[in-house]
Amino acid sequence: MKFRVLAAAIVLGILTAAAAPREEMLVSTAWLAAHTNDPDLVVLHVGPPATYAQHIPGARHVTLADISVTSESGGTLEMPPADALHSRLSQLGIGDRSRIIVYYADTVQSATRVVFTLEAAGLGARTSLLNGGLPAWQREQRPLSSEVPTVQVGSLSPLKMKDVIVDAKFVEENAAKAGYAVIDARLPEFYSGAKSGGSAEAPHKAGHIPAAKNVPVTTLTDEKMSIQPATSLQAAFDKAGVKRGDKLMVYCHIGQQATAIIFAARSLGYDAVLYDGSFEDWSRKDLPVEK
């Protein structure tokens, strides 16, 4: 009985410690509705152009192409250089005083890639994800708009990029080391090698990076596309064998789905970085895989 009480206290302590970052990383629809007219608020609608036809009032439209580049080696979704990213963010009206809210119109991993990019740019402390995204806003019958807002270029200081991206060499050198864990955010059929990603012209290898653990992108949200409770997220990491205190190196197909799992990990207090080239880069380099 004492053991059960102690174990429960430890779990409660972990989740309590994680509460602060989670509360900072997420806002509710009620919070956004109450702050829509705040002068420094910047709301970013992430999704295909068609989804922007009816959007949260005042939201600016963002696609992944707006905040990424294709690398010289052919990487599909890569972090832009600091100067290019600074220009793109300021064009969205983001400045030094902006409070940034990102929401997803359809897929959560598109929005978490934007959140991750803002974090990499040093703006993470002023950026939050709208819990439930546009689907939650619509379910609650909150107001929508078709009006495209006039956006003034933001007064944004030079970016101080954070060290949150790693490459294949770093992953390969640390995958088997104590204190590190490689996390594959793809769906189980890709992790197992039953399916391979990529295109017909440039297929990825079948399988996963050796020693990688599978925490699929679907872990982050429930059937209504709301962010799962901390207890559910923690259970998924525990089930995969991820140890508390490990530095997580997360990858997926091209570096999009991985950001959803990085968001989940950071909301629980894990130190998580992105292998930006992901399995696309790993396959192109012909590095070893497991099935």
User: pLDDT tens-digit profile of 162-198?
Assistant: 999 999 999 999 999 999 999 999 999 999 999 999 8
Number of domains in the chain: 2
25 and 127 belong to one structural domain:
yes
117 and 209 belong to one structural domain:
no
- pTM of model > 0.85: yes
CATH number at residue 69: 3.40.250.10
| 9 assigned to some structural domain | no
126 and 172 belong to one structural domain:
no
Q: What is the pLDDT of residues 85-115, one digit of tens each?
A: 999 999 999 999 999 999 999 999 999 999 9
What is the residue range of 212's domain? Answer: 165-284
| 65 assigned to some structural domain | yes
| 11 assigned to some structural domain | no
21 and 135 belong to one structural domain:
yes
pLDDT value for 5? 40
Contact yes or no for 60/91 (Cβ under 8 A) = no
93 and 177 belong to one structural domain:
no
pLDDT value for 160? 94
pLDDT value for 199? 86
Which range among 48-62, 65-79, 119-133, 263-277 shows the weakest confidence by mean pLDDT? 65-79
Average pLDDT, the chain: 92
pLDDT band at 20 (very low <50, low <70, confident <90, very high): low
